[in-house]
Amino acid sequence: MIPTLFLESILNGLVLGLIYALISIGLTLIFSIMKLSNFTHGEFYMIGGYAIYLVSSFLNIHSFLALPFSIIAGFLVGVAIEKVFIEDSFTKAIERPFEYAMLATLSLSILLQNLAKEIVGPFHHSAPSFITGNIQLLTFTLSLNRVVIMMITVISLAGLHYFITKTRTGRAWRAVSQNISGAVISGVDDAKARLLAYGSGAALAGLSGGLLSTVYGIWPNVGFIPLVLSFVIITLGGLGSIKGAFIGALIVGLAHSLISSYFSPSYADVAMYLILLFTLIVRPTGLFGEKV
């Protein structure tokens, strides 16, 4: 049973890691371009979860058809927040602009949680699974719903990589993250790049919430744990590094799964923080971070 348990833990860890990568890459995308610690990111996850739940429930449609609403809801709320609350810190003469933006996102996080409690109540809800049943792999089983989630996540990450590396907007994002002055001189609209990056990061978090709401459910303060996980992952991988966020997410996912299987789920978070602390002692910039 030991080899079977190990293989099952590895597979579950990879599934978790890919999903963690989706939400943490959204956060690191915002940080790399805006240099902003976005404390509203967990609420974008929550909004995506409620979007798929409400649309699938009230319109009585399949969860797969309701999933795009999670992406759209996250993107629209993200764009609105960036335009109303964050843009001023880049365009106006504000003392300590990044502290202002950080406190604004923290305040919005609390506001959105309480709005969710008032609108949908403090109760636990779950969107219907994308597909029911299990698949047999060797001597262990894996939920088909998680397989579908993993496939959607892989396709989304591949699409994001193509968008960043091959499209004009993606090149603008990379230019702004590397040298904003040089990007502006080259004709890049930095305000538009920030707006789209923030909205896209929020959309990725919304997609994560939509996917995982079919597994773990959704409630008003569900975004706290994904937010903490995302900050741990992007710090472990290196702030601003998309590759680092992906590798860090896989490490955290595998650590969670293995520790939970062989010891106890209560030790999984302890192991995650120990890995982070050890990494920062050995390499303070994270695995793929660079000195500025």
Q: Is the pLDDT of residue 35 over 90?
A: no
C-alpha–C-alpha distance, residues 101 and 240, integer Å: 17
Query: In the structure, what pLDDT confidence band is assigned to residue 71 with cuts at 50, 70 and 90?
Result: very high
Please answer whether residues 50 and 116 qualify as being in contact, where contact means their C-beta atoms are separated by less than 8 angstroms.
Answer: yes
pLDDT digits (tens, 9 = 90+) for 91-146: 776 777 788 888 889 999 999 999 999 999 888 998 999 988 887 766 667 788 88
pLDDT digits (tens, 9 = 90+) for 207-219: 999 999 998 899 9
Mean pLDDT in residue range 84-94: 82
The backbone torsions φ and ψ at residue 134, rounded to the nearest 5 degrees and listed phi first, read -130, 160
pLDDT of 5 reads 73
pLDDT of 138 reads 66
The backbone torsions φ and ψ at residue 39, rounded to the nearest 5 degrees and listed phi first, read -85, 0
- The CATH-assigned architecture of domain 2-282 is Orthogonal Bundle (1.10)
Mean pLDDT in residue range 143-170: 91
pLDDT digits (tens, 9 = 90+) for 182-231: 888 888 898 999 999 999 999 999 999 999 999 889 999 999 988 999 99
Domain boundaries, the chain: 2-282
C-alpha–C-alpha distance, residues 51 and 56, integer Å: 8
Please answer whether residues 236 and 279 qualify as being in contact, where contact means their C-beta atoms are separated by less than 8 angstroms.
Answer: yes
Indicate the average pLDDT of the chain.
88
Query: In the structure, what pLDDT confidence band is assigned to residue 267 with cuts at 50, 70 and 90?
Result: confident
